[in-house]
Amino acid sequence: MALKVKTQDVLEVFNEKLDSVREKFDLNEKILSTIDLKLIEIKNTSIKVEFDSLKEETKKNSELFKNNRTELDQILQKHASEIKFFAKKQEKLQLYFYGALLVLFLLSATFLAFAMNEYHDRKDAEQRLKFYIKEASRRNLFLKEKKMTLEYENWLEIEQKKIDNRK
């Protein structure tokens, strides 16, 4: 058989639950009132900054940074002077390189001009030699036809002796 719930029992359980809910509301109100009080307290407080200790710390830091700054300045000046030295050295090396390149260019141009001049002189000499060979063969042919070969040889010996006597 099913149990019948009495109204009295339901009301007792309801009362117990109601008391626990009321306690929770009271607790929330206490928390909210505490928070409100703290917010009012925070609004009313003022921050007072003491600059004397801050000045001392600033002085200490500036002295430390001053030492480091001078050290960094010295290192910077040292590196700058080294860079200038190497830049001048590189500049001199480039100047020597381009100077040597210019000298080599001038020498090669001179040798090229000399070689071209010699080539043309040789060609001219070959052409004159061919001309004189042809001229000599025509003269010999003419002398043989006129039977003057002995006279020409005598005349040539006389002329040669004159040239030798002048020297």
What are the b/e assignments for 122-158, b being 16+ CB within 10 Å? eeeeeeeeeeeeeeeeeeeeeeeeeeeeeeeeeeeee
Q: What is the pTM of this model?
A: 0.39
E strand or H helix at 155:
helix 149-166
pLDDT of residue 126: 95
pLDDT of residue 59: 84
Residue linked to tokens 């430390």: 64
pLDDT of residue 19: 67
Residues of the chain scoring pLDDT < 50: 1
pLDDT of residue 62: 83
In this predicted model, what pLDDT tens digit does every residue of 59-87 receive, in sequence order?
A: 888 888 887 888 888 999 999 999 999 99
